Amino acid sequence: MMQLSVSVLEIIRLNVEPAELRGNRPVIVIRANIPRIMLIVFAATVLLFVGANADTPANCTYQDIVGNWTFYEGDRNNTGSSLCDQIGENLMN
């Protein structure tokens, strides 16, 4: 029985399955498809940059929030929800 010694780079370059090179022994079949892998990596990178460029829904600028702030705690309703449109006049001005 002849033993073949093949590196992973040769397998990728030749685009052959290791099972074909190892005879009847059960091995993991690796089928390299470099353009598809590059497309997946490119798409993942684009999605990362698109997600990183997202804006906050508040749209507050530095000039809107700079200054002295006074915080008050109102009555608790124990529901876990906050109704920001009903907070009061001081916040809306």
Which residue carries 């073949």 as its tokens?
A: 4
Q: Where are the domains of the chain?
A: 8-92
How does pLDDT run across 8-51, given as a tens digit for each residue?
Answer: 555 555 554 555 555 555 555 555 567 778 888 888 888 777 76
Across the chain, mean pLDDT equals: 65
- Distance of alpha carbon 24 from the chain centroid: 40
Q: State the Cα–Cα distance between residues 11 and 83, nearest whole angstrom.
A: 61
- For residues 32 and 92, the model is more confident at 32
- Which pLDDT value is given to residue 1? 44
pTM over 0.75: no
